[in-house]
Structure 1
Amino acid sequence: MRTFLLRNLAGWVALVALAWGPVGAPPARAQGGATVAAARAPRAYTRSGHLMGSHFTFTAVSADDSLAWRALRAGMRETQRIDHLFSYWDSTSQVVKINRMAGVRPVVVDQEVYDLIARTLKISALTGGAFDATFASGDKIYTFDRQAHPALPDSATVRRSVARIGWEKVRMDPATHAVYLPEKGMRLNLAGVLQGYGVRRAQALMKQMGIAGGLINGSGDVYCWGKQADGSGWRIAIGDPARPRTVSSWLTVSDMAVVTAGNYEQYFTVNGTYYGHIINPHTGYPATGLRSVTIICPDVELADALDDAVFVLGPQAGLALVNRLKGVDCTLITDDGQTLVSRGMQLNSYHSAAPAAAKP
């Protein structure tokens, strides 16, 4: 058994993809050096790398080892290209150019960049601003050092910290593909969706090259398609925040994204109350009520944005949002350890307590 322990922007997250079978093993050979017929059966080939500041794993299922390795390299190169184009940290990226010209003038960008920003604004509208790519405009007033702090920042400081955040302020010109941040100090950061977008583009490229089955794990943003080498579906296990690196439930999927966000690695406490790193862009305070959000849907880019949005919305409003979206499901783990699921979600629980069904 091969186990993938996934990582997201917040650190280790408890999401595991379980795949059985040899990975990139050399073909068996008959006497005399001839390759036996069984060697032509599909096998899983895996390659990992540090991309977008995180750990990525690419798996391709193929009977053609040359094709598999070419596809894996192509998937990694595509992810690198996207990172260079959209990075918040790369001084040559188009997102950085937009940020530099905030309050000065619009910046004309590539169609691809314009389209992704436009989609993030649509998700912001859908979630009532719970997902907001201008979150980088906020001041950094918290230190998530896993330590006990004497108090939260005062309310005036918190209000000021989010004064420049606002997805609705972003101006888009479809005729010229120009993007404008109208206030000095405003910043775009697409980190909340970029890894999902990178996974989606890499998967589409690998599939176009002839890889009928595979799995890409972009730091906790997982997309799997087709079947494993033995013909079975991909088994995805969701971890237990209360017991790191253990499993609470699992499901079998194909042609589906499974994306998890957790706030139990980056946090601080005040008087015993736990505050995680995911900030509510409306209030400036850390989002509370949830420890883990897992989104399941066919679009890994959308899932990547929704996990943070549901985290900010909280258990009730987050479930209500997911239950309104066609083809999207979720499972949530609350601060008190309760597991909640959306209406269409079916989990195989590793614990004796069954997940609580979401109410309409």
Structure 2
Amino acid sequence: MHSICRLTGALRRMAPAALLLLALLAVPPLARAQAPRAAPPRNYMRAAHLMGSRFTFTAVATDDSLGWRAVRAGIREAQRIDRLFSYWDSTSQVIRINRNAGLRPVVVDQEVYDLIQRTLRLSALSGGAFDITFAGGEKIYKFDRQEHAALPAPAVIKASVARIDYRKVILDPAAHSVMLQDKGMRMNLAGILQGYGVRRAQALMQQMGIRGGLINGSGDVSCWGRQADGSLWRVAIGDPQHPHGGINSWLDVTDVAVVTAGNYEQYFTVGGKVYGHIIDPHTGLPSTGLKSVTIICPDVELADGLDEVVFVKGAEAGLAFINGLKGVDCTLITDDGRTLTSKGMQVRYYSNQPAPATAAKP
């Protein structure tokens, strides 16, 4: 009895922390609560046909529900952008602007107004090398990968671009209206729309809590965060000599856009010289000298427009233009197989590819 009393008194004198420890030790091991283990992250990916091209959406998440919901939301957002800016859908605001060319301004959504305004800034910056009114040009070429006897007559070429002039797009910020000044003018945002769609889809997925992901809109790639295994995103640059799966080089990147455009699928030749499908808005002549242009910068929308600028300006002037922009780099492949880069560009080349032949000077 005395020993029991002594034990009871000792327990009362023990610190609360010691008593808690004794209580925990008294619980059988199997009865102790187990903290749930966090699920490892996974890459959730889905492909979709959008804007006439193949898109892929990848979201990194630890939850199946969130991963798939984010991918579906990204696809729906790109679909919305496609309908809103469509050059073919009779209900789109772009078609309304074209129908009223030379007649009256058209009030548009703020989103439409803002994107058109940004394209006009790029047009001014590039000296008109990028121009959304290219749709007003006459289609006088057939890009069938065949040898043609000759180019159209100079007068025909000049007349084909008579209605192309970004300076005749009239914006009214107070009314949020857009007007094409002359009858017969038409605008088409195809040269920048895929990049814009990728950018909007990425922003939506990030708002949903996706901390890592990659969206590829037919060569317009934007990525953020890390892959499920913690590695950077690997973005390949195609080899124009082997257009169906060939790789020229690659980059391991994150939080950046990598946009590649090629002139080796839509072209024709005259006297063995290659004429690509991107038209110089000033001359009406197809772009020549380049097979591939890759732009690297933080904004996928801007990169989507800049690749066209470089194609129109050509290798030397195009690289000089890129070197004058902050935070933008470029690598390109010429018709004769040379790889050229802007002053800050660094890519990894496959073993069978030569290093850049020259690097542009600042």
TM-score (structure 2 length as normaliser): 0.88
Specify the alignment match of 1:317 in structure 2: 317
For 2:220, the equivalent position in structure 1 comes to 221
Change (3 A) 1:142 1:67: same
Q: Letter of the aligned partner of 2:360 in structure 1?
A: A
Separation in 1 of the partners of 2:347 and 2:273? 30
How far did residue 357 of structure 1 move?
1.5
Residues 1:86 and 2:85 aligned together: yes
Q: Distance in 2 between matches of 1:134 and 1:249?
A: 34
Distance 1:345 1:274 in 2: 27
| SS of aligned partner of 1:160 | helix
Does residue 1:339 correspond to 2:329, yes or no? Answer: no
C-alpha separation in 2, matches of 1:124 and 1:38: 53
- State the match for 1:354 in structure 2: 355
Relative distance call for 1:37 and 1:235 in structure 2 (3 A) is: farther
Pairing of 1:255-334 with structure 2 (within 5 A): 255-334=255-334
| Structure 1 unmatched ranges of 5 or more | 1-35
Alignment-derived partner of residue 211 in structure 1: 210
Q: CA deviation at 1:326?
A: 0.7
Shift of 1:335: 1.1
Provide the secondary structure at the position in 1 that maps to 2:246: strand
Deviation at 1:347, TM superposition (A): 1.0
Task: Report how far residue 37 of structure 1 moved.
Answer: 7.4
User: Where does residue 153 of structure 2 map in the other structure?
Assistant: 154
For 1:326 and 1:273, the matched residues in 2 are separated by 34
CA deviation profile, 1:309-358 (whole Å, cap 9, x unmatched) = 11100011110111111110010101111101111111111135211321
Q: Over residues 147-184 of structure 1, what are the superposed CA-to-partner deviations in whole Å (9 max), with x where a residue is unaligned?
A: 11111100000000000000011110001011010111
Shift in alpha-carbon separation, 1:37–1:273, aligned structure 2, 3 A: farther
Q: RCO (CA 8 Å, sep 6+): is it higher in 1 or 2? A: 1
Amino acid at match of 1:293: V
**How far, CA to CA, are the matches of 2:343 and 2:272 in structure 1?**
34
Query: Which range moves more in the overlay, 346-355 or 168-177?
Result: 346-355
RMSD: 1.3
Look up the match of 2:11. Answer: none
Distance 2:40 2:68 in 1: 16
Q: Unaligned stretches of 5+ in structure 2?
A: 1-34
Pairwise CA distance, 1:38: 7.5
* Aligned pairs, number: 325
TM-score of the aligned structures, taking structure 1 as reference length: 0.88
Structure with the larger strand share: 1
Matches for 1:1-360 after TM superposition, within 5 Å: 40-244=39-243, 245-350=245-350, 351=352, 353-355=354-356, 356-360=358-362
- Corresponding letter in the other structure for 2:215: I
Could you list the structure 1 runs, at least 4 aligned residues long, displaced by more than 6 angstroms after superposition.
36-39
SS at match of 1:90: coil
Q: Percent identity?
A: 72
What secondary structure, in the 3-state scheme, does the structure 2 residue paired with 1:354 have? coil
Q: Secondary structure at the match of 1:98?
A: helix
Larger radius of gyration: 2
Of Structure 1 and Structure 2, the greater helix share is in 2
Give the distance between the partners of 1:271 and 1:344, measured in 2 at CA: 36
